[in-house]
Structure 1
Amino acid sequence: MITSDLGWRESELGSFKILLRKFDITPVQKEALLRASWALLYAHYEGFVKFCLTIYYDTICSTIDAREKLSERLQHTSLRSEFKSARSLPDTELVKFILEFENKQMKDRPAFGEVETQSNLWPSVLDTLLREADLETQGISQYHSKLKVLVARRNSIAHGDKNFIKEVDYYLGFENDVYSVMYILALEIDRKINEINV
């Protein structure tokens, strides 16, 4: 499933790459294609991260029958909505929640909310999402500076700023690095899903 999702994303970005490599496009067309490619690259980066984490959480929910069987970090993540609800309980209800916690919430099937990227998947947001999912992806940190530029420039383009990318090779360097991040994430999710299914 992750491979097919990555495949259609690569095909779509590849279509833009073919257009960018044509010799018969004008400078204005080239600039427009580069801006569109940049915005699309960001969209696929964010979309793929959300897709992978959703698949991962769905696999956990359908395979693991009790929160107590999860790592401590995943327990915290899966309990987030319960903790949020408990904060607003009257005192008597809160005491009941606390007393029943180990026998109820920890025995319940895990549940995770929607993967939230805060509309801007900055490296710090990505790191938080990966940490909450208990994923080991240290290899992604080497791409933080490129991801910051990706998000900032995408925001600039999305807000209609005159932010031009002049060279195809400059864009392609970012595309390659985003693919590296996506591959690292895909491999780690695949590894964790295989552990769950053993």
Structure 2
Amino acid sequence: MNAHDGSEFDDIVNTETWGPYGSPQPQPVKTGPTKRGKVVLSIGAAVLAGTGILTWQHYDAAEEASQVKAQELSIQQQQIELEKLKVLSEANAKTAKTQAAQDANRQKQIDACVSHNKGLIGKQLGATYSSVLSDCQNQYTATGSTAGMQEAASSTGTASSGGGVSPGLLLVIGAGGAVVIAVAANRGKNTNAA
């Protein structure tokens, strides 16, 4: 018989260390992504870069449009304020004209009263020119000063920011009041029904 090496025989007989196609050959391990992985990564990077550029362009265009819209709104608000000021100026001019006419009419009435009552000066006890003038001025008082109305008109809405009650707050207050009235009316029905 032939003499054979025990290790070779053991390798043939012991199949636990190798697969169905023979003993496994050691293969070098490659580090890094495969060709398919590299292609996937490059496609992903291209998609991300393209999406980023498109998103930036869309955002930039939307931002420019919103700035233009804000400028248009600002110009419109300034035009509205200018129109308000024109209307207030016209109203103040009309009011001043009316007030001047009323003051002239009052002065005529006071002058007529003083000339009518001049005969009392010196004939009646304590009657002096200043007392007669003061009585006539008290008799024909001013019909009303427009200074308060002018101050109120000039102070409303001329500043874009400041105090005051917003329309939204007024709606909330009105809705709250309506709810309170409805609840009170409902409770009133319930207590009367019992």
Whether these two folds match at TM > 0.5 is no
Q: TM-score range by the shorter chain?
A: under 0.3
TM-score, normalised with respect to structure 2: 0.27
Higher RCO (C-alpha under 8 Å, 6+ residues apart) = 1
